[in-house]
Amino acid sequence: QPTVALSTTEAEYMAMSSAAQEGLWLRGLSEEIERSSQIPTQIFCDNQGARNLALNGAYQPRTKHIDVRHHFLRERIQAKLLAFTYIPTNRMVADSLTKALDVEKFSACIRCQGLRK
């Protein structure tokens, strides 16, 4: 990520913004190939603060400095193109791709991804 985050909420919010951009691009590609989807693209996150910031956008002194470019999330949520779902950290299967995990957690993650039985 090209900027420095001042909190975990901000870091997660910026990551959600990046994931949403990629997801919306893939959604557009899918719509060109097939027909359009009426279901919002799901983004899973494990940070309640970042999710709440995207959903309601209430002004908070601690988040006033977040770059405006990330706030497009709110518009896409209102347009029903995106939906953010809270998933507890211990259920985030993508962690196997981004974090150093113990063998048990890593094995559970790759099983959930269908990479191993």
Q: What is the pLDDT of residue 81?
A: 92
CA 96, CA 110: separation in Å to the nearest integer? 7
- Supply the pLDDT for residue 23: 92
Model confidence, pTM: 0.74
What's the pLDDT score for residue 67? 62
Count of residues for the chain?
Answer: 117
Q: Where are the alpha helices (DSSP H) in 34-88?
A: 48-56, 72-78
The rounded mean pLDDT for the chain is: 81
Q: How far apart are CA 113 and CA 94, in angstroms?
A: 8
**pLDDT over 60 (residue 48):** yes
Q: What is the CA radius of gyration of the chain?
A: 16
**Chain segment 68-98, per-residue pLDDT in tens:** 666 788 889 889 999 988 988 778 777 777 7
- Residues 58-69 have pLDDT tens digits of 656 666 656 666
Alpha helix (H) ranges present in 34-94? 48-56, 72-78
The percentage of the chain sitting over the pLDDT mark of 90, rounded to a whole number, equals 14
Quote the CA–CA distance of 113 and 106 in Å, as a whole number: 11
| pLDDT surpasses 60 at 1 | no
pLDDT digits (tens, 9 = 90+) for 101-117: 888 888 888 888 887 76
